[in-house]
């Protein structure tokens, strides 16, 4: 296990993550519980407590790791949806850079050398932000489809809290999936997400996909006694 942790951490370092932070992050990811105490990290990584503390502080600033106070010891925890949250944060940061660049161009003038550079930078980050915003939609699209499948299986409207409990997901992950389903209904066809009651959701057939005659025949086929 220790050898794999070191190998995977080395790959993270190549992407720009500081070495000790990469080792701590990998240690947390490879723990079944997704959490370890400082003492457990020290034993696993064979490093000093100060090194672990510094790495955890760095990861906390990036919102990759959070602290969870137990009865006797504090644990460091990594959530299953941490990469999705990190992705969306980066996408927003790139969009903000694009907006700031546009303000700079308006101040300096697009015809000036500085304005031209800012304009090019703004276009770059705007495109990057758009691509990344599309990226989570694809990745989170799987979550959206899972939520739709859960609603179909439940055969009844469910609130976001009940969906989170049934799926074993965090509230943020369910909220992201529901938002993605609402923003990209074309990816859910022939189903669509519908609000039902106060804070409840249900999966229903896309209106217009079936004609009135088809719906009537299906109703009579499914419920011949009622026909």
Q: What pLDDT is stored for residue 120 in this prediction?
A: 87
> φ and ψ at 85, to 5 degrees?
-65, -40
Q: What pLDDT is stored for residue 225 in this prediction?
A: 65
Q: What pLDDT is stored for residue 133 in this prediction?
A: 65
pLDDT tens digits for the chain (227 residues)?
A: 678 878 888 988 987 889 999 999 999 988 888 899 999 999 999 999 999 999 999 999 888 899 988 777 899 998 877 777 777 777 778 888 888 988 898 898 888 889 889 988 988 888 787 777 654 444 446 788 889 999 999 989 999 999 999 998 888 889 888 988 887 787 788 888 999 878 899 999 887 777 888 888 888 888 776 55
**171-176: long-range contacts (C-beta < 8 A, 24 or more apart)?**
172/81, 172/85, 173/80, 173/81, 173/84, 173/143, 174/147, 176/81, 176/84, 176/88, 176/136, 176/140, 176/143
User: How far is it, in rounded angstroms, from Cα 17 to Cα 105?
Assistant: 33
Q: Tell me the domain boundaries of the chain.
A: 2-77, 84-205
pTM of the model: 0.49
* Segment 87-103, tens digit of pLDDT: 777 777 888 888 898 88
- The yes/no answer on whether domain 2-77 falls in CATH 1.10.10.10 is yes
Cβ-contact 100, 107 below 8 angstroms: no
Q: What pLDDT is stored for residue 136 in this prediction?
A: 44
Cβ-contact 60, 67 below 8 angstroms: yes
Q: What pLDDT is stored for residue 140 in this prediction?
A: 44
């Amino acid at each position: 296990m220790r050898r794999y942790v070191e190998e995977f951490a080395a790959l993270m370092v190549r992407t720009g993550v500081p070495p000790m932070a990469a080792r701590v992050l990998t240690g947390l990811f490879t723990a079944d519980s997704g959490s370890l105490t400082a003492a457990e990290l020290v034993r696993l990584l064979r490093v000093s407590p100060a090194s672990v503390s510094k790495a955890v502080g760095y990861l906390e600033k990036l919102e990759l790791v959070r602290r969870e106070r137990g009865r006797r010891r504090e644990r460091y925890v990594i959530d299953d949806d941490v990469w999705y949250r990190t992705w969306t944060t980066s996408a927003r940061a790139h969009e903000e850079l694009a907006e700031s660049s546009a303000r700079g161009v308006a101040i300096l003038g697009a015809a000036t050398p500085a304005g031209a550079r800012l304009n090019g930078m703004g276009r770059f980050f705007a495109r990057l932000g758009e691509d990344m915003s599309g990226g989570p939609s694809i990745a989170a699209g799987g979550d959206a489809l899972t939520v739709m499948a859960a609603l179909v299986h439940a055969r009844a409207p469910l609130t976001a809290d009940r969906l989170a409990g049934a799926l074993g997901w965090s509230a943020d992950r369910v909220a992201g999936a529901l938002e993605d389903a609402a923003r990209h209904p074309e990816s859910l066809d022939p189903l669509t997400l519908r609000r039902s009651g106060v804070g409840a959701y249900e999966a229903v057939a896309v209106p217009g996909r079936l004609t009135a005659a088809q719906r009537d025949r299906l109703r009579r086929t499914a419920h011949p006694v009622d026909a």
